[in-house]
Amino acid sequence: MYDEQQRTDAGPRAAVEHGPLAGFTVGVTAARRAEELGALLQRRGAAVLHAPALRIVPLADDGELLAATKGLIDQAPDVVVATTAIGFRGWIEAADGWGLGEALLARLGEVELLARGPKVKGSVRAAGLTEDWSPSSESMAEVLDRLLEEGVDGRRVAVQLHGEPLPGFVESLRAAGAEVVGVPVYRWMPPEDISPLDRLLDAAVSRGLDAVTFTSAPAAASLLNRAEERGLLPELLTALQHDVVPACVGPVTALPLQARGVDTVQPERFRLGPLVQLLCQELPGRARALPVAGHRMEIRGHAVLVDGCLRPVPPAGMSLLRALSRRPGWVVPRADLLRALPGAGRDEHAVETAMARLRTALGAPKLIQTVVKRGYRLALDPAADAKYADA
């Protein structure tokens, strides 16, 4: 993937151009727009593991949406709240397919129509309708405030749902006396093939991922549910709390994780581009950088930057390198390194084999020194030794 020149200890090599996410592996749980998100990550150098945590029920086949649409046509609501642009468009298109498009548009033209934000307003107008009101903030809280100020006691309010939780929204309307009708646009179901999600889960638990992205709350809930089914929930939560960065597109998406005590990172703007840019800052900022044997070594997820040059490292080698980096400059016994190797058993020869491959991958054998009859050490520079001793 990368055009690298050969390196020897005889002299430095010019750094190879690479993206800010080079050497990191990022999980993608999205069902919609997964290819777009994966491409954004790969263009910045990341390795991507895609495992849709959900599948979307096709609108044309959704009996619940059909029933809700017929119910609204037969019995007019007082207010309709359109929450997402893609959901509103999909609803109208599905109604057209059922032969109900004109009747639905006529009904929506007769009621108070609220659109959550500019994008939804654009979809409403593209359908030939005009919204009665829309907040510039795209905030459901602002929509709720308006409805409660108007008064909803005894009124029938239809809310276009889209698979995301609307914390407190429906409950607040019902507490104020409204009859709330849900319009279930884009219902989520577990994926038909669960094996990719299991692979992503295993990678997260084993720290084979550096980050996992979530673009919907149902996807986050689905991953947590699958971990619980497999008895891996405690391990997954520990990984997400300490080692694997959970990156959510926004605060609503983060709710299932936060309910489990997992803090997430979120961009200021709730879009895919800012989500990727956030990871471009977050992951390199967490990478371990050490001055070793006259070189600068930065340890990433599945690769190491040596003087700015990307060096992919096999999994066994990364396990050894992380064990050494936890005690830079100190001798780490072979027995400790053996325990760090997954599935190595009791054969210390496995350490020597993995160490030889690690040194080859790093391209600078003197980064790791052999201490005869004791073990191995990262050759931390003297100045760095003093810094660590004072710490």
Tens of pLDDT, residues 292-335: 988 999 999 999 999 989 999 998 999 999 999 988 989 999 88
Cα(35)–Cα(46) distance, integer angstroms: 14
**């002299």: which residue's tokens?**
11
- The pLDDT score that the predictor gives to residue 390 is 43
**Whole-structure pTM value:** 0.72
- The pLDDT score that the predictor gives to residue 38 is 95
- The pLDDT score that the predictor gives to residue 153 is 96
Cα(126)–Cα(91) distance, integer angstroms: 13
Under DSSP, is residue 180 helix (H, G, I), strand (E, B) or coil?
Answer: strand
* Sheet containing strand 245-248, strands side by side: 47-50, 25-28, 211-214, 245-248
- The pLDDT score that the predictor gives to residue 32 is 79
Contact indicator for 234, 70 with CB cutoff of 8 Å: no
Q: Amino acid identity of 227?
A: A
Q: What is the mean pLDDT of the chain?
A: 88
- The pLDDT score that the predictor gives to residue 123 is 94
Is domain 25-56+191-286 given the CATH code 3.40.50.10090 in the classification?
yes
Give the architecture-level CATH label for domain 288-390.
Orthogonal Bundle (1.10)
Q: Give domain limits for the chain.
A: 25-56+191-286, 59-185, 288-390
Q: What are the tokens at 67?
A: 């029933």
Burial of 254 (0-12, 13-18, 19+ CB in 10 A): buried
- The pLDDT score that the predictor gives to residue 33 is 84
Packed helices 233-242 and 195-205: angle between N→C axes, nearest 10 degrees: 60
Give pLDDT tens digits along the chain (391 positions): 333 333 333 333 334 468 899 999 999 999 878 999 999 999 999 999 999 999 877 777 788 899 999 999 999 999 999 998 888 999 999 999 999 999 999 999 999 999 998 989 999 999 999 999 999 887 888 999 999 999 999 999 999 987 665 768 999 999 999 999 999 887 778 898 999 999 999 999 989 999 999 998 889 999 999 999 999 999 999 999 999 999 999 988 899 999 999 999 999 888 899 999 999 999 999 888 899 988 999 999 999 999 989 999 998 999 999 999 988 989 999 889 998 887 666 677 889 999 999 999 998 888 999 998 889 999 988 665 444 444 4
- The pLDDT score that the predictor gives to residue 4 is 33
Contact indicator for 318, 300 with CB cutoff of 8 Å: no
- Please indicate whether the domains covering 59-185 and 288-390 agree at the CATH topology level: no
- The pLDDT score that the predictor gives to residue 384 is 53
Give the fold, CATH level 3, of 59-185.
Rossmann fold (3.40.50)
Residue of 319, 292, 321 whose CA lies nearest to 307 = 292
Contact indicator for 82, 124 with CB cutoff of 8 Å: yes
Radius of gyration of the chain (CA): 27
Q: What are the tokens at 97?
A: 């397919």
Q: Amino acid identity of 32?
A: R
- The pLDDT score that the predictor gives to residue 95 is 95
